[in-house]
């Protein structure tokens, strides 16, 4: 990444090599990082990345906002309605 770049990961923790990220932050190569996910999750209490001044961590809830909660609730109601009307769930889980 370019010097001074910001790294954001809201996907999956293992996508980021956290030791390399820590080195890049410590050396000043990266300007900062924002992580909503880590590997391992939860992180170990003594993980040095937790005390880095150039990182913002969220506990896997970076998606949460007033609007997102409303949308989750509306989607849940729509799924219940769909099932009660005899339709197939939109996001069916198969236990095969």
> Do the Cβ atoms of 63 and 10 come closer than 8 Å?
yes
Residue 60 a catalytic site member:
yes
Q: Of these residues, 29, 53, 60, 81, which one is catalytic?
A: 60
> Do the Cβ atoms of 1 and 27 come closer than 8 Å?
no
Residue 41 a catalytic site member:
yes
Q: Of these residues, 12, 29, 81, 82, which one is catalytic?
A: 12
Residue 79 a catalytic site member:
no
DSSP string for residues in 28-80? TSS-EEEES--SSSSPPTT-GGGG-TTEEE-SS-TT--HHHHHHHHHHHHHHH
Q: Of these residues, 29, 41, 71, 81, which one is catalytic?
A: 41
Which amino acids are annotated catalytic? 12, 41, 60
């Amino acid at each position: 990444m370019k010097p001074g770049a910001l790294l954001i990961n809201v996907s999956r923790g293992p996508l980021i090599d956290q030791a390399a990220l820590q080195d890049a932050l410590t050396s000043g190569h990266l300007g900062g990082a924002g992580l909503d996910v880590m590997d391992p999750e939860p992180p170990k209490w003594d993980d040095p990345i937790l005390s880095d001044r150039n990182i913002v961590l969220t506990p896997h809830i970076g998606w949460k906002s007033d609007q997102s909660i409303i949308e989750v609730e509306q989607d849940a109601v729509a799924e219940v309605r769909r099932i009660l009307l005899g339709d197939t769930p939109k996001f069916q889980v198969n236990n095969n």
